[in-house]
Amino acid sequence: MYLQRNLQKRTTLFSIYHNASACRTWEHQQQRVNYAPVQRLPESSVNSTPKIVPISACIPHEGVLSERVTLVSTDIQKSGGIRIPLLAIQSPNEPNQWVIIDGMHRFAACQQLGLQQIPICEVDYNDPNIILMGWDAITHIPFCPDKQLFQLFSRDAGFIIEEHPWQTVEQVHDGIHHREYLMAVGDRAGTLYTVKRQDNNHTVAQAISAMRSVDTILDQCNPEFIADDLSLNAFSSGVGKSLILRPRYTKQEVLQAIQSETLFPHKSTRHIT
């Protein structure tokens, strides 16, 4: 199925491929998001017939990186359309609104191009086969927690930064997923630093707020985002100079954030099966 209108008229421009499993292939090939296997969503979870909806009826659930939006926007114009429909769920706030859960940069690129309609595949978010995971990050230049992170979190007396032996990195990683820590940073020198709150009350709002501040620093290091279940092996094999272990959220927390109109930082969520 192919539908194309004149881009100069700022109407609709997309080509639809009926294959939700390839949703991130192009992004991984073109951008520095190389470490995540493309996953197939279960047929029972995805409406196999893409629907065309007004872009004004869609909202993102997390932020984007502006340089990647520019890359995707350029590709849409060169290829004549969107390669894969965006994945979306029905908004818990509005009956005629959809929340984009996969395809943030494609969505932002369509907005940038002034398109009026986009193709989506609607997902049943309650399907237990849809698993929400996250992204860690690797930098190829030193990312110094003793200078940048200490300065950032020292402004808030509610946070504690602790040093751990590198041998405990797997336990620390699990601790982040269970909210014992907010995040951690390790480097090639074998040092590992964790950030947590003194009261151990790591709510989703606190995690989002903290990661927005961290990403302000991290983005200056041109990070490479990596699936959080692959990050430790990749770093251990010699990829990168610093490893940033980031929070993992739950689907319930995503829905709560959507209901409160709270936007996650970019590359916070990864939906797989």
Contact 225, 239 (CB under 8 A): no
Helix (H, G, I), strand (E, B) or coil at 58: strand
Residues forming beta bridges with residue 133, ordered by sequence position = 270
For domain 2-126, the CATH class is alpha beta
Q: Which residue has the tokens 């860690």?
A: 136
CB 64 within 8 A of CB 72: no
Torsion of CA 24, 30, 35, 39, to 10 degrees: 20
Cα–Cα distance, 267 to 269 (Å, whole number): 6
- Check: CB of residue 86 under 8 Å from CB of residue 126: no
pLDDT at position 154, please? 66
Rounded distance between C-alpha atoms, residue 233 and residue 82, angstroms: 33
pLDDT of residue 8: 38
Domain layout of the chain by residue ranges: 2-126, 135-248
Phi-psi region of 174 (alpha: psi -120 to 50; beta: other; left: phi over 0): alpha
User: Could you tell me the mean pLDDT of each successive run of 10 residues in the chain, 273 residues long?
Assistant: 35 38 39 42 56 95 92 91 89 92 94 94 89 92 66 73 92 92 88 86 83 85 91 93 92 92 93 75
How far is CA 236 from each of CA 49, 143, 170, 183, 257, rounded to the nearest angstrom? Answer: 42, 17, 12, 18, 34
In angstroms, the CA 62 to CA 104 distance is 7
Residues shown for the chain: 273
Token pair recorded at residue 218: 């991290």
